Chains A and B, each alone.
Chain A
């Protein structure tokens, strides 16, 4: 069967390579963290409206993660989701394959420059409000592979990160602690903005 190649495979590879080189050139500095933690004193003097409280409760108690599992930390995430450390009790057991339906990206694994445009694309496709937990040492700073020629030194070069979770890999208990920290951050965000 004659296959007429409009784009040859080599051209596709060159296009991908150019996109990666451009992303490297753009990502030389880390993106600053969004939503600095609220000062403790302010919290006591603000009354939260009931609509806000309901919205917050809805957002944080059923955050759906998107599928983004490059490397080893993925298996600690899968273990967290299985029956011993159950993620269902936080409403998070559904891993949404479509980024449009998800609001949390748990980046479980080392990011390489070749993979970076794809992860950025998935992040851009997620609808607001969205959060990112950088899971593991490789996600925070490149980890044990930081000095390698093809590893991105931390996900915060390409996407803004909300919670950093150290460990190599972090135990499931640590991942649950990180998720609860994110819940607290979501609660405080609406207090800070006084909506």
Chain B
């Protein structure tokens, strides 16, 4: 059975290495600052004992005051999982760092979030519209579209 790791325990480990990185930790998920996302993600991937080498899913959500991107991480070796989140508070031209360097699985999924929400990911090799055509105005999955 895949053990869903508690955000609170991992938060304690991360606070020691990256103080100030964790914004909020709950039982199901871990919310981190956008600036320290890459370091924390690399730490989660490379630390023995955590070894989150499989990025299951990347989803974007539009809460009206911010955009949130949710990463579902899994470790094949230890069979445990973790939910990592990060937020972006700008409405026009939101940007977040891209995790494609760590997990190539994020390639198409980040393009999809960029297409449908308008969030740009810095460091992504090929960030262009994936599902809609060039010339489509707007970002459909935002709550204020149509």
State yes or no: do A and B touch (Cβ within 8 Å): yes
Chain A contact residues, CB within 8 Å of chain B: 10, 13-14, 16-18, 20-21, 113-114, 149-150
Nearest Cβ in chain A — how far from B146, in angstroms?
A: 7
What residue in chain A is nearest B136 (Cβ atoms)? A17
Asked if A149 meets B133 with Cβ closer than 8 Å, knowing A10-B128, A13-B128, the reply is no
Asked if A17 meets B128 with Cβ closer than 8 Å, knowing A149-B140, A149-B146, the reply is no
Nearest Cβ in chain B — how far from A33, in angstroms?
A: 29
Q: Considering the complex, which residues of chain B in the window 122-145 have a beta carbon less than 8 Å from any beta carbon of chain A?
A: 128-129, 131-136, 140, 145
How many pairs of residues, A versus B, come closer than 8 Å at their CB atoms?
28
What residue in chain B is nearest A20 (Cβ atoms)? B133
Chain B, interface residues (CB within 8 Å), range: 10 to 19
Select one of A10, A18, A114 contacting B132, CB under 8 A.
A114
Asked if A16 meets B146 with Cβ closer than 8 Å, knowing A10-B128, A149-B140, the reply is no
Nearest Cβ in chain B — how far from A27, in angstroms?
A: 15
B146→A17 contact, CB < 8 A: no
B133→A113 contact, CB < 8 A: yes
A17→B140 contact, CB < 8 A: no
Q: Determine the distance from Cα of A20 to Cα of B136 in the docked complex, in whole angstroms.
A: 9
What residue in chain B is nearest A22 (Cβ atoms)? B135
Nearest Cβ in chain B — how far from A118, in angstroms?
A: 12
B133→A13 contact, CB < 8 A: yes
Question: Which of chain A's residues have a CB closer than 8 A to the CB of B128?
Answer: 10, 13
Asked if A114 meets B140 with Cβ closer than 8 Å, knowing A10-B128, A149-B146, the reply is no
Question: Which of chain B's residues have a CB closer than 8 A to the CB of A16?
Answer: 133-134
